[in-house]
Structure formats: C-alpha cells, structure tokens
Structure 1
Amino acid sequence: MKLYGDIQSGNCYKIKLLTALLDLNHEWVHVDILNHETQTQAFLAKNPNGKIPLLELDDGRCLWESNAILNYLAKDSALLPSDPFALAKVQQWQFFEQYSHEPFIAVARFINKYLGLPENRRADYESKQEGGLKALKVMEQQLQQTPFLIGEQLTTADIDLSTPYA
C-alpha cells in the first residue's frame, strides 16, 4: 500500500504513527501541498477532494480522510474496539477532533508552521486560540478521569488527537 502525505501535517502524522504502532508495511509518497501537488490530475483522480493523507491499496482502491484511514488500518487490532459502544466513543472523539479541535488547533498550526505566521494571517491565528484552548480543556478533563480518551487502552481516538504542536 501507498500513503500519500506530508509528515509535517498533523493528519498525515497520525497515519504515520499508526503504521509504526501496528508495524504496517507501506510506501510513503511525499506530497508538497504548498506546491499544489494535491491539485494535479493524477492526484485528483485518486482523491477528488485534493487533500492529504491518501491511502492507495495494492489493488488500486483509494481511501481519503485521516479518520477513515486510521479506522480502516486499525481494524481487527486492539486500537479499534469491536464493542459497539466503545467504537462509538472512538468515533465521538474523532468527530470532536474534526469539529472542535482541528478548526482551531490545526488551522493555527498550519498558519504558524507552514506559512511562517505572516503578519497578514496573525489575526486569523490569534482568533483560533480560544477555541483551541477550549478543545484542549475538554480533552484534559477526560484524561484526568482515564489514562486514554475512552478508558484504559490506547485507541485510534488517542492517535487521532495526537497531532504534533511543534
């Protein structure tokens, strides 16, 4: 299988982390988003949404969106519960990541890390801080109760929210 991405991207990082934890053999294909490599005809044929990460299976089928890739790769492992309620809790945190965490933390990180915090984006960067701190507070409250987001064991929910901040 091939994984298309940029290791600096938080969404790609979590896929790379999962492949390491599960010791999954794969080919990493670097994609330069700042040079619009996700907008080429070849890439758009694999992912019409034009974003990374992208998983291409050996049979040519493609899967995009980091949480879908995480859960697909973790199927039948201890990182993705088979119990319906525990699985729903994982998905709950994954939706939280997409709607309460990513719009603030990941966007601010992109402005800072990828763009170098240019002055014309500083107000946008600053506007993300309150929402980011709120998301981190929700996570911290849960982690004061359990060692991992859904209980006693690491799951794809924890990996999903493990975006690097540097």
Structure 2
Amino acid sequence: MKLYDYLPSGNSYKVRLLLSYLKISYEWENLDIIKGETQTDAFKAKNPSGQIPLLELTGGRRIAESNAILFFLAEGTPYWPRNAYDQAKCLQWMFFEQYKHEPNVAVARFVHHYAMEQRENELPALHKKGYAALDVMEAHLADNLWFVGSGPTIADIALYAYTHVAGEGGFEMTRYPNIMAWCDRVSDHPKHIRITDTPAAS
C-alpha cells in the first residue's frame, strides 16, 4: 500500500502511527500542502477533496479521511474493540476528535506555524473551543487510563495526534495532568514514532 502524506500533519500522523504499531510496511509520498501539492489535477484524480492522508491499496482502491483509514487498518487488531458497545464508544471519541477537537486545536497550531499575520485574530475563539475539548478529555482521563477499554485503541491514536502538539498552538498543557500522563502512556508503546519521524527514519 501507499500513503500520501504531509509530515507535519496530525491527521496523517495518526495513520503513520497505527501503521508503525501494526508493523505494516508501505510506500510513502510526502506532499507539501502549503505549496499546493495536493491541489494538482493528478492528485485530485486520486482524491477529489484534495486532502491528505490518502491510503492507496493494491489494485488502485483508495481510502481518504484519517479516521476512516484508522478503522480500515485496525479492524481485527487489538486497536479496534471486539464488542459493539466499545466499538460505538470508540467511534464516539473519534467523532468528537473531528468535530470538537481537531477544528480548534489543530487549526490553532496551523495558525501559529503558517498564518499568524493573516489569522491571528482567530486564535481567541479557537483557544476557547479547544480548551473546552481538552477539558472533556481531562475529565474522562481522571477515571480512565485510556479512552475506551483497558488498552490503547484508535480512539487514543486519533486524539493523541494533535493533543500531544497542542502546545504548538498556544495551549497551556500544564493545566492538564491527566492528559499529559495519558500522552506519556501512548508514547511508551514499543513501536511509537514521533510526528517528525519520516517512515524511513522510524
């Protein structure tokens, strides 16, 4: 399989992280979204939305959207729960990540990295909503080591991707001891890779 990726992207990092956990080898192509490399006709023929990550399977089948890719890769592994209730809870947290967490935590990080002059005025609203999402996570982790069940699932991978770099978006993470301890648990995985690691280096 082949992963179309952008190294700094948390959404792409989710997929790289799970592929590493599962010890799956793959071809890797880095596309610079800042330079518009996902907006070419050639790439849009593969993914009309012009976004990464995109996973291309043998035979030319393709899957877009990071959490859909996580589900595809995780089914039948320890990272996807076996019973229906835990599966639904896993999806609940993944929907939360894409609807409440990523649009604020990830976008604040993007503004800090690439668009401070143009979009700095957006940060107060992004921080308010981002902190609200982090508060929900902190409260859950007060009584749970993981988001679902007794071990890491793709819910943890989905939430970890942008949470562990939330400080790069101006979020003060020292106020969240439960989240910080959870991040340490995630990074303790023997096949853990950093968001800055290319697949060749990992």
Q: Please classify the TM superposition score into its range, dividing by the shorter chain length.
A: over 0.9
State percent identity of aligned pairs: 46
Paired amino acid for 2:32? D
- 1:29-40 mapped onto 2 (5 Å cutoff): 29-40=29-40
| Deviation, structure 1 residue 37 | 1.0
Structure 1 residue runs of 4 or more that deviate by more than 6 Å after TM superposition: none
**Which secondary structure does the structure 2 equivalent of 1:59 belong to?**
coil
| CA deviation vs aligned residue, 1:106-164 (integer Å, no higher than 9, x gap) | 11111112x0x523311112320011111011011111111000131100000000124
- Where do 1:22-33 residues align within 5 Å? 22-33=22-33
Cα deviations across residues 46-65 of structure 1 (Å, max 9, x unaligned)? 11111000000011000000
Shift of 1:35: 1.1
**SS of the residue 1:28 aligns to:** strand
Structure 2 Cα separation of the partners of residues 35 and 98 of structure 1 = 24
Does the 8 A contact of 2:15 with 2:69 survive in 1?
yes
Letter in 2 for 1:49: S
Structure 2 distance, partners of 1:150, 1:68, is 18
> For 1:161, which of 130, 148, 159 is the aligned residue?
159
Q: Distance in 2 between matches of 1:58 and 1:162?
A: 29
**Contact 2:86 2:149 survives alignment (8 Å):** no
Q: Does 1:136 align with 2:139?
A: no
**1:125 matched to which residue of 2?**
123
> SS at 1:161's partner residue?
helix
Runs of at least 5 residues in structure 1 that lack an aligned partner in the other structure:
none
TM-score normalised by L of structure 2: 0.79
Q: Deviations over 1:83-117 (max 9, x none)?
A: 1111100100010001110111011111112x0x5
* Aligned Cα root-mean-square deviation (Å): 1.1
Give the counterpart letter for 1:3 in structure 2: L
1:78 is matched with 78
Q: Deviations over 1:5-55 (max 9, x none)?
A: 112001011111111111111111101101111111111111111100000
1:87 & 1:153 partners in 2: Cα distance?
13
Task: State the match for 2:111 in structure 1.
Answer: 111
Distance in 1, Cα, partners of 2:39 & 2:105: 24
Q: Which runs of 5+ in 2 are unaligned?
A: 169-202
Deviation at 1:78, TM superposition (A): 0.3
Partner of 2:50: 50
Question: How many residues are treated as equivalent by the alignment?
Answer: 164
The reply on whether 1:93 has 2:89 as its aligned counterpart is: no
TM-score, normalized by length of structure 1?
Answer: 0.95
DSSP 3-state at the match of 1:3: strand
Looking at structure 1, the residues matched to 60 and 145 of structure 2 have their Cα atoms a distance apart, in angstroms, of 38
